[in-house]
Amino acid sequence: MSHIEQIPPYLTWKIRHKVMYPELDFEKVILPNDDDGVHLGLFDENKLITVVSLFKTDTSMQFRKFATLSEYQHKGYGSEILQYLLEYSKNEGCDHIWCNARRSATAFYSKFGFIGTDKTSFANGHEYMVMERAL
């Protein structure tokens, strides 16, 4: 049985590093403003499987560092937490949500109504596109 709860920033770091940036030094996955964010974790049988970090500015929510442990991907955990964070952001008074999506994840976000923009970038070997949707 899975559940989602708010977790302290440090609990996201191991999964961020393992799933998203295994080639970088561990410290590089720590965001300077991690303490300003809200961090959500999805647990199944008390094992932390998916993490995502939220940063609110006025009525806009940005989510970052969204990652599911590799061996648990494609089982619906990411969709579960994404659905949760859409509701959460709305309840927090946000009217807009966005992310810097890796190219490899854009189809996934499209399924949830996110629209790609012309804001693209390249960093750490990955291509990114800002994707957004109204809430």
Residues that bind ligand COA in the complex, under the rule CB under 6 A: 19-20, 50, 66-68, 73-79, 99, 101-102, 104-105, 107-108, 111
**Residues 69, 78 contacting (CB under 8 angstroms):** no
Distance CA 130, CA 70 (A): 24
Smaller CB distance to ligand COA: residue 56 or 102?
102
Q: Which residues are 131's β-sheet partners?
A: 99, 116
> Least distance to ligand COA from the beta carbon of 12, Å?
12
Inter-residue contact 71 to 43 (CB < 8 Å): no
Minimum distance, C-beta of residue 78 to ligand COA, in the bound complex (Å): 2
Q: What's the min distance (Å) between Cβ of 129 and ligand COA?
A: 9
Residue nearest to ligand COA (CB): 78
Nearest-angstrom CA–CA distance, 55 and 82: 14
CB of 121 to ligand COA, least distance (A): 12
State how far the Cα of 129 lies from the Cα of 29, in Å rounded to an integer. 20
